[in-house]
Amino acid sequence: MKEGPDIAYIAALIGDPARANMLTALMSGKALTVSELAEEAGVTIQTASSHLSRMDDGGLLRHRKQGRHKYFALATDDVAHVLEGLMGLAAGAGHLRKRTGPKDEKLRKARVCYNHLAGDMGTRLYDSLMAQGYVALKGEIVTLTDQGAAFVTSFGIDLDALVRKKAPLCRECLDWSERRPHLAGSLGRAFLSRFEALSWARRDQKSRAVLFSPGGDAEFTRLFPFPG
C-alpha cells in the first residue's frame, strides 16, 4: 500500500526482547556462539537458534562457521548505528531496563560501541581530535589531517595497514548517553585497540564497559585534553 522500505519488518526483528538482548550483547563487537547468545538472552538454545537465523535472513547479522561452533556478529556498522540510535530514543524516553546503578555509571563513562570507544571518554576523544586539528570534516566525510596522520603514527597505530583496508577510516557515530557524536570507523577501532595494548584500559568481561586504570586515565587526559 505504501511506498518505501519495509521498516516494520526490521523493527519487529529488533523489537523482541530476546533478540534485542542478543543484539545488545553483540554491540560489544565480539562474535558470539549460539549458546553464548542464548545465555545472554535468557532463553533456551533452540529458540536462540531460531531467532538468530531470522536475524541473519533479515540482514542484521552475519555468521561464520568454525568447527562445530557458529559465531554470530552484527552484519555492518550501519546496524550498530541504528541500534545506538534506538538506545538514544529509549534512554530519552526514560525506558532503561534497569534503574541507574553503579554499572550504568561505568557504561556512561566509557564503553564499547560495536568496536570503538563510546561514552563520555569517546566523545572527549573525538572533540579533542577535532580541536587539535587532527581530524576535520571535508565534504561529507570525516578525514584525518596531515598532522593527524603524524600524531596517529607516533601514537603507535599502523596507519598504512588501516588505509590498505577497504573500510572507511573515520566515521561519526551518535552516542546514546552523551547525545553527541564520537569517532567510529577503522581509526576508532584502532584507537581502542591501542588503549588496550598500552594497558590504559581493559574491557569488562561481563558488560560493554571499558575500564580505565588510574594511570591510563591520566595519560588519556594529558594526550586528549578538553577542547575548552
Partner DNA sequence: TTCATGGTTCGACCGTAGTCGAAACATGCA
Partner DNA sequence: TGCATGTTTCGACTACGGTCGAACCATGAA
| Residues near a second copy, by CB under 8 A | 1-17, 19-21, 23-25, 40, 42, 58-60, 76, 78-79, 81-83, 85-98, 103-104, 107, 123, 126-127, 130-131, 136-140, 142, 172, 174, 176, 180-181, 207-208, 227
Contact of residue 9 among DNA, a second copy, none (CB under 5-8 Å per partner type): a second copy
Burial (CB count <10 Å: 0-12, 13-18, 19+), residue 67:
exposed
CB closer to DNA out of 33 and 186: 33
The site for DNA, by CB under 7 A, has a size of 22
Q: Is 130 left (phi over 0), alpha (psi -120 to 50) or beta?
A: alpha
Contact of residue 34 among DNA, a second copy, none (CB under 5-8 Å per partner type): DNA
Between CA 225 and CA 124 the distance in angstroms is: 8
Phi, psi for residue 166 in degrees, rounded to 5: -75, -30
Phi, psi for residue 109 in degrees, rounded to 5: -70, -50
* Shortest distance in whole angstroms from residue 54 CB to a second copy: 12
| Nearest C-alpha neighbor of 170 from the set 125, 136, 131, 210 | 136
Q: Residue type at 216? A: G
Contact of residue 168 among DNA, a second copy, none (CB under 5-8 Å per partner type): none
Check binding of 95 to DNA (CB under 7 A): no
Please tell me the number of Cα atoms within 13 Å of 182 on its side-chain side.
28
DSSP summary character for residue 97:
S
CB closer to DNA out of 67 and 102: 67
| Cell numbers standing for residue 61 | 547479522
* Shortest distance in whole angstroms from residue 163 CB to DNA: 34
* Shortest distance in whole angstroms from residue 74 CB to DNA: 17
* Shortest distance in whole angstroms from residue 80 CB to DNA: 21
Contact of residue 85 among a second copy, DNA, none (CB under 5-8 Å per partner type): a second copy
DSSP summary character for residue 139:
T
Is 211 in contact with 221 (CB distance < 8 Å)? no
* Shortest distance in whole angstroms from residue 120 CB to DNA: 33
10 to 49: interface string for DNA, x by CB under 7 A: --x---xxx--------------xxx-------xxxxx-x
Is 122 in contact with 182 (CB distance < 8 Å)? yes
User: For cell 561505568, what's the residue?
Assistant: 106
* List of residues contacting DNA (CB under 7 A): 12, 16-18, 33-35, 43-47, 49-54, 67-70
